[in-house]
Amino acid sequence: MSANVDLNIRPDYDKVLQDIADYVLNYRIESAEALSTARYCLMDTLGCGLLALNFPECTKHLGPIVEGTVVPHGARVPGTSFRLDPVKAAWDIGAMVRWLDFNDTWLAAEWGHPSDNLGGILAVADHLSQKRIANGEPPLTMRTVLEAMIMAHEIQGVFALENSFNRVGLDHVILVKLASTAVTAKLMGANRVQLLSALSHACVDGQALRTYRHAPNAGSRKSWAAGDASSRGVRLADIAMRGEMGIPSVLSAPQWGFYDVLFSHTNKDLAVKPTDKRRFSFSQGFGTYVMEHILFKISFPAEFHAQTACEAAVLLHPLVKERLREIDRIVITTQESAIRIISKVGPLTNPADRDHCLQYMTAVPLAFGKLVAGHYEDAFHAANPIIDDLREKMTIIEDARYTREYLEADKRSIANSVQVFFIDGSSAPQVAVEYPIGHRRRRKEGIPLLEDKFKAALATRFSARRAAEIFALCQDQAQLEATPVQGFMDLLVI
């Protein structure tokens, strides 16, 4: 046989894809902590989406692609009157959720926001539940939504523990697409063959580059990229449900597979040769770990590596607010990941640029005692030159312990400390915050604030009576789980 031919023997599916499919189809969620945390995650994620509706740059993207389109059993977009096909509804919900950089976070070798998957989950569940009612079948319940959230969190988060897509220039939304594909295919009733096909297409798809998150190209695409990914997951699940064949060795195929094309090359940050072969690695199987340990952004709409710096700056504000012009230098001590992705100098040209700048996110609460979404807007930035004055005086230092404990499974800290030095030689005390208020170690302290955040978000879109009804339902685990999905979504329509 000639050596210049391909061996055309169709392989079995890559084991990674089989593991995901088996988890989604067979795992039974019994963790009360995971279900309770998923309920809080649902509240928080919806609240973030509702808050985003106050920003025209977000709302301009929402609604049907073709005006006037009528969709039978259309999925609703919370806080609006839209009824859309599930693919576009997933896009809209996902974009809303991510727009203000205020929803939950997972930090490991890769970063991301697992609640981004709620776009696909809610859109598909609402549409299917309405169809079931129309066909005389029992509706889906919110327990199904919570379980899908837990599984999507787990897929995205377990991948992120040891597999760094950012190191090869890919954006973390690849994991949103993968997780949304898996859980929405299950919601649609996929069997194992269909689920594997859908997952393979998620991997063979073109993958997003991270360039829109970094200087000099940081911009608003990062606010809708995850919605786009979740929406794509719904589309791929639908394609597979129509009987489309899969691509079994999509990851491992020599030369043409994901590993060789997209994952074996690396940038200058790693001492790895471009010819080295890299494969996904996993330190644990899929269960409920990620939802149980998820990080909530409770106090600040800011990239998560800066959350503790913002908290430290708020604590320092009373000590420095009358002496801002007397500041000589500001030292921020942080983790390596923060330095790599959000430390930047130079002009900041748009809100998305500012909410991914460690120095900006620290300067604002240092000067004003708080950080809200409006503080990223052009008008606020232009009216307050003190922010850039403070940025220019900042020095960023890595603490090796902060970097190490950021990755340790029993800690997962996201530490920052801030210290201010004055021209006269005096200084404010160094303020260190190692675990943000949204961390699992601070749940008791954080959950009441998370609930307040949700109530405030509800008040921006609904009457006091409706807001109270929604909040009361979300506080009752058993009642929420038993609620039909379309009934829950009815409450969120205006």
pLDDT reported for residue 108: 86
Average pLDDT, rounded, for the chain: 94
**Side-chain half-sphere exposure of 374, counting CA atoms within 13 A:** 8
Q: How far apart are the first and last CA of the chain?
A: 68
- Residue 473, pLDDT > 90, answer yes
Instruction: DSSP for 214-237, please give it.
Output: STTT--THHHHHHHHHHHHHHHHH
Helix (H, G, I), strand (E, B) or coil at 72: coil
**Structure token pair of residue 80:** 């609006």
Q: Which amino acid is at 223?
A: S
Taking residues 442-462, report their average pLDDT.
Answer: 97
Tell me phi and psi for residue 342, to 5 degrees.
-130, 5
Residue 398 CA, distance from chain mean position: 25
Is pLDDT above 50 for 274?
Answer: no
Please, are residues 94 and 116 in contact by the beta-carbon 8 Å criterion?
yes
CA distance 12 to 41: 37
CA distances from 398 to 181, 337, 359 (A): 38, 9, 14
pLDDT score recorded for residue 5: 63
CA distance 223 to 95: 6
> In angstroms, rounded to a whole number, what is the distance separating the alpha carbons of residues 163 and 315?
35
What pLDDT is stored for residue 97 in this prediction?
A: 97
Q: pLDDT per residue over 308-363, tens digit each?
A: 999 999 999 999 999 999 999 999 999 999 999 899 999 999 998 999 999 999 99
Peptide bond into 216 cis (omega under 30): yes
Q: Is 284 exposed, middle or buried (0-12, 13-18, 19+ CB in 10 A)?
A: exposed
pLDDT above 80 (res 113):
yes
User: pLDDT tens digit string along 389-445?
Assistant: 999 999 999 999 999 999 888 888 999 999 999 999 999 999 999 999 999 999 999
CB burial of 158-175 (b: ≥16 within 10 Å; e: otherwise) equals: bbbbebbbbbbbbbbbbb
| Cα atoms found within 13 Å of the Cα of residue 309, Cβ hemisphere only | 32
Task: List residues bridging with 484 in a β-sheet.
Answer: 141
Note if the pTM is more than 0.85. Answer: yes
CB atoms within 10 A of CB 287: 18
The pair of structure tokens assigned to 93 is: 């919900």
What is the share, in percent, of the chain residues with pLDDT greater than 70?
A: 96
At 2-47, the pLDDT tens digits run 556 667 778 899 999 999 999 999 999 999 999 999 999 999 999 9
The residue among 156, 42, 34 whose CA lies nearest residue 450 is 42
Neighbours of 107 (CB within 10 A): 20
Provide the pLDDT for residue 180: 98
The HSE-up count of residue 200 (CA atoms within 13 Å, CB side) is 23
- φ, ψ of residue 301 to 5 degrees: the values are -80, 80
Give the separation between CA 92 and CA 90, rounded to whole angstroms.
6
Q: What is the mean pLDDT of residues 117-134?
A: 98
The β-bridge relationship of strands 431-433 and 416-422 is antiparallel
Token look-up 């749940």 returns 443
In percent, how much of the chain has pLDDT > 90?
A: 89
How would you class 383 by CB atoms within 10 Å of its CB: exposed for 0-12, middle for 13-18, buried for 19 or more? exposed
Nearest to 306 by CA among 390, 363, 238: 363
What confidence score (pLDDT) does residue 214 get? 87
What is d(CA 100, CA 352) in angstroms, rounded to the nearest whole number? 9
Sole residue written with tokens 């130079």: 346
Two structure tokens written together for 12: 């079995």
**Residue spans of alpha helices (H) in 321-442:** 336-342, 351-354, 358-368, 378-383, 386-392, 400-407
Nearest one of 292, 350, 300 to 102, comparing CA atoms: 300
Q: What is the pLDDT of residue 111?
A: 87
CA–CA separation, 354 vs 253, rounded Å?
A: 41
Strand partners, 333: 397, 417
Element (DSSP H or E) covering residue 418: strand 416-422
Side chain identity, residue 76: R
> Closest Cα to residue 197, out of 228, 235, 230, 237?
237
